[in-house]
Amino acid sequence: MSNDMRSRRSLLDGLSDVVGDLWGEDTLPSAAPAEPVYAAKPALPPFTKLWKIADEPIDWTEALASPTPTDGLTAPDKWALYHTQAAAVLRGDTEAYLSVLRAANPMADLMPYVAALDVSTANADTLRASFTVRSDLMENNAREYLSGMALRIARDLFAALPVTNVNVTGKQDGTPLLTVSFQKAELNKVRFAFIDPVDFVLQSGGEFIQE
Amino acid sequence: MAPLISKWHRELELFSAVKPLIILEGNVLDEYRYPVAGSIPEDSLVPLPEYLNGFLTDNGYEQVVFYSNLVGFMNPYQPSMLQEFARHNGCTAESGAIPAEFKGNTQETAPNIIRRAMSQTRAATAVIMELASHYIISPERMDQHDVNSFNLLMQSAMSAATVRTPMGRRQNLLIILVSKLNDLPAWFYLSNPLCKTILLEAPDREERKRLISGNAWPTFFDSTVYRTDMPFYEEHPEELSRLREKFVGLTEGLTFTELDAMRRLSKAECTPIRDLCTIVDLYKYGIKENPWQNLSMDSLRSAKQDFQKRIKGQDPALERTLDVVKRAVTGMNGLSSSSTAKPKGVLFFAGPTGTGKTETAKALAEKLFGDESACIRFDMSEYGQSHSDQKLLGAPPGYVGYEAGGQLTNAIKKNPFAIVLFDEIEKAHSSILDKFLQILEDGRLTDGQGHTVYFSETIIIFTSNLGMYVKDDFGKRQQNVTIDMDYPEVEKRLRTAVEDHFKLELGRPEILNRIGENIVIFDFIRREAGEAILRSQVDKIIRRMEEQKAIRIRVEDAAYACLQEAALADLSNGGRGIGNQVEALLINPLSRWLFDNSVIEDADVVIEGFDVAARPPCVRCRIEAKEEACHE
């Protein structure tokens, strides 16, 4: 297991209360790390590298076909959840999407980098994500932070659910700073280790509204 | 969906109840589809050892262990079984294995442990010996220890006990997995009433169909692709069924491991459901442009006219040839057969020599693949010996030339999109015909190194001069067709002769059946076609002289008429005969004249006449003054 995965798993373990907040209406956490555990984890990548990695995709077709993990890597309880939800998810049931997001919480590891994060479904094809920036992380290179964050959120959501589009909005004090729409087909072709996130967001039609 | 249980599984079920020693031979390194829901989910693809572990535990065996001469005894799927096995048979498990050599003098060798395990009655036990092909160097070079070890295994089978289990009585069982049966000493399995050999083959059509239609179907696709594409196919089940049929046809001969690799490739590439079959090409050939998909319909529409420029006087043959290409392009090829892995088309060109058979193949290669070099030609007169198949497919292991591979298989591996031309097929040794049969039927060949090459993107063309001569009642060769016969008569006689050759002379009607109605008879070069060929050859010479030497040649009408009469006097040798005449009457005398008159470059030469009766033939020429040439 890689260091990243280890740290992600430990983050997930310590984030159960944050998870509850994350998906509740109007109860988004207003400040970064709710748990001191974040500060104690030096393995956490700096946000400048965040778009280069992403969660492992949930293999919904595999989960549909098999009640037990076929990859030998996924925990059996997690697989059981996927297996239960797979048929509905592959039908495009948006309720099932949200259930999966609540249960699997794929973006728990991004919480240290944002003040708040919210995801909703537009339809079976599209997810909408909105994050509130952390002001301190905006200080050095605001565009890179916004773009990297948007890209990473999109990557994690594409990995979690079989959607074709993810629309991401970055906000500060309720004011949008960046809106961008990512298409899965486009992201599939990208070698993330080599891209500049700002360029990529601009190529994807992203718009920096004000900073 | 009702379970589909393979033949070998049913045989294993049947014979494990009555034979204590079972040898599984053949495709033992492959994965297999578990056919029923049990300890392994239904339709899962698992390696053979895991399959056997599932099968045996589902059938009531209480101890299942695997033996490999590198590791010893183990059970990576249910480690607790190994501990029980060690306890019952007086040995010690360390780090998940019971180390044991295959041969030796101690009681702790694997055959001794197996003998104890087979004869005990405390727990129904199955021992599976993996990679058994590699336990000894060779059955012919066994030492006494090797012999003793196999003897002990035979004794194990003889002393196999029956054990009462909650699921009924079970006989202790020894299963040996080998790639080839003759990797074991013959005395071990031949005339051995305790032993049953079961052959494991690559998945058949039904198995492949089940894989692509059963629980595993969604797993061929990325989740997003499946969610977005599948509703269409749920509404149009006939489309889905057609797609699956095509995939099943294209994957003939592939192992489950290969099918599984294709499945993962399709998922990784996010292949749309409609493009599933393109994954087969990607898997077989790697990243290669498929010229069949890039063929322009307009280019094909003009193909006949383009061909007529190159091949004169063969309109019916060209028409038949293009029919096959059109069938390939429209995907109608092979609709009448069970396999879509067959070549795109098969043509058998017969007819007099020099009538354009090889040229048609080259023209076809240029039209389809943009390059004449895509016509890979094999002169079968070079393959007349009994060992010639090794030239085509490569020598077997241990023979000289093994590393080089086969000429045919190497060529197709390098360029799977090609016209494969087997010239003068009647001169090939009969052992090669069997290889052709495999190409025509299955669309694939395996070379001496075990690599399989596929012919499913090729057009196969055989050419032959069969039927030009037949033997009379006294065994004397006599001409069967002559130039004074009309085309229908030539066609009828040659077709009959080709059919007789395969049916009566070779006794191989099955080859003829694979060629079907695709025998294309080329006509003699008639006078009109001969004139056109001559004109094109003379024009070509004139053009080349002007381009390369700036020597402008003009042939006066009377001289040309004389050349034409002489060149076309005997058309029985076809276009090649005309070419020979052009060389003898025009090229040689002209070059002699140019040399003798020191005309090296930049000149206007007029050919006034030919002296065709002279030995050697001569030309009468004059050099035109430049002013005259300009004036003209």
Task: Classify burial at B476, counting beta carbons within 10 Å of its beta carbon; exposed 0-12, middle 13-18, buried 19 or more.
Answer: exposed
Q: Supply the pLDDT for residue B220.
A: 95
Element (H, E) at B551: strand B551-555
With a cut of 50, say whether residue A1 has pLDDT above it. Answer: no
Q: Topology of B527-631 in CATH?
A: Helicase, Ruva Protein; domain 3 (1.10.8)
Structure confidence by residue, pLDDT tens digits, B65-122: 999 988 999 999 999 999 999 998 888 888 889 999 998 878 889 999 999 999 999 9
Band of residue A4 on the pLDDT scale cut at 50, 70, 90: very low
- Mutation target for A interface from B34, B213, B224: give the one with most A CBs within 10 A: B224
The predicted model gives B595-611 an average pLDDT of 89
Which among A67, A158, A163 is the nearest to B41, CB-wise? Answer: A67
H/E element, B64: strand B63-68
Most confidently predicted of A60-69, B282-291, B495-504 = A60-69
Instruction: Say if A60 is an interface residue toward chain B (CB within 8 Å).
Output: yes
What are the Cα distances from residue B390, in Å, to A102, A168, B407, B428, B446? 64, 63, 9, 13, 11
CB contacts, 8 Å: A124 with chain B: 227
Q: Which residue of A has its CA nearest to B218?
A: A61
- The length of chain A in residues reads 211
Which residues of B, range 107-126, sit inside 8 Å of A by Cβ? none
A58 touches chain B (CB under 8 A): yes
| Chain A interface test: which of B227, B229, B232 (most A C-beta within 10 Å) | B227
**Domain B297-521 CATH assignment equals 3.40.50.300:** yes
**What pLDDT does A36 receive?**
39
- CA-nearest residue to A60 within chain B is B223
CA dihedral for B445, B446, B447, B452, sign (positive or negative): positive
Query: Does residue A42 have a pLDDT over 90?
Result: no
Percent of chain B with pLDDT over 90: 43
- What is the token pair recorded at A185? 């087909």
The per-residue pLDDT for range B300-324, each reduced to its tens digit, is 788 888 888 888 889 989 998 888 8
Least CB–CB distance from B219: residue in A58, A62, A162:
A62
How much is the pLDDT for B44? 85
Contacts of B227 in chain A (CB under 8 A): 60, 89-92, 124, 162
> How far is B60 from chain A, CA to nearest CA, in Å?
22
Q: Which residues in chain B touch residue A72, judged by CB atoms under 8 angstroms apart?
A: none
Domain positions in chain B are: 7-200, 205-285, 297-521, 527-631
Mean pLDDT of B243-266: 91
pLDDT at B331: 65
Of the candidate ranges A171-185, B129-143, B312-326, B506-520, the one whose mean pLDDT is the lowest: B506-520
- pLDDT per residue as tens digits for the range A90-119: 999 999 999 999 998 888 889 989 999 999
Chain-chain contact of A61 with B221 (C-beta, under 8 angstroms) = yes
Written out in words, the top-level CATH class of the domain with range B7-200 is: alpha beta
Count how many pairs of residues, chain A against chain B, have C-beta atoms within 8 Å: 58
B215 Cβ under 8 Å from any chain A Cβ:
yes
Contact A65 B228 (CB under 8 A): no
Mean pLDDT of B146-163: 93
Bridge partners (DSSP) listed for residue B54: none
CB contact under 8 A, B219 and A61: yes
Q: Which of residues 18-57 of B touch A (CB under 8 A)?
A: 41, 43-44
Exposure string of B166-182, with b = 16+ CB inside 10 Å and e = fewer, is: eeeebbbbbbbbbbebe
Mean pLDDT (chain B, rounded): 88
- B530, B571 contact by CB (below 8 A): yes
Question: Which among A68, A89, A164 has the least Cβ separation from residue B228?
Answer: A164
Query: Residue B224: its chain A contacts at CB < 8 A?
Result: 158, 162-164, 184
pLDDT at B334: 52
As a residue count, chain B comes to 632
On the question of pLDDT at B10 being above 50, the answer is: yes
User: Per-residue pLDDT tens for B123-142?
Assistant: 999 999 999 988 988 888 88
Q: Is B457 exposed, middle or buried (0-12, 13-18, 19+ CB in 10 A)?
A: buried
Comparing CB atoms, the residue among B220, B223, B270 nearest residue A90 is B223
Find, in chain A, the residue whose alpha carbon is nearest to that of B231: A91
Token pair for residue A135? 């002001």
**Cβ-nearest to B224 among A62, A91, A164:** A164
- State the number of CA atoms in the 13 A half-sphere of B107 facing the CB: 6
In angstroms, the CA B256 to CA B262 distance is 10
DSSP state of B97: B
**Position A203, amino acid:** Q
Lowest mean pLDDT among A30-34, A77-81, B283-287, B301-305: A30-34
Q: Hey, do B7-200 and B297-521 end up sharing a CATH topology, with the first three levels equal?
A: yes
Q: What would the pLDDT profile of B549-573 be if each residue is shown by its tens digit?
A: 899 999 999 999 998 998 888 888 8
Average pLDDT on B437-448 reads 84
**In this complex, is the C-beta atom of A189 within 8 Å of any C-beta atom belonging to chain B?**
no
A163 touches chain B (CB under 8 A): yes
- The average pLDDT across B461-488 equals 86
pLDDT in tens, B479-491: 888 888 899 999 9
pLDDT digit string (tens) for B608-629? 988 888 888 888 999 887 655 4
% chain A with pLDDT above 70:
76
Question: How is residue A210 written in tokens?
Answer: 């004000």
pLDDT at position A33, please?
41
CB contacts, 8 Å: B222 with chain A = 61, 162
| Higher-pLDDT residue of A143, B478 | A143
Report the relative pairing of strands B459-464 and B419-423 from DSSP bridges.
parallel
Q: Which amino acid is at B89?
A: N
Q: What is the pLDDT of residue A45?
A: 60
Min distance A58 CA to chain B CA atoms (Å): 8
- What's the pTM? 0.65
Cβ contact, residue pair B215, A65, below 8 Å: yes
User: Cβ distance B295 to B368 under 8 Å?
Assistant: yes
Distance CA A27, CA A19 (A): 11
The verdict on a CB contact (< 8 Å) between A58 and B227 is no
Q: What is the pLDDT of residues B382-405, one digit of tens each?
A: 888 888 888 888 877 777 777 777
pLDDT, tens digit (0-9, with 9 covering 90-100), for B528-539? 889 999 998 999
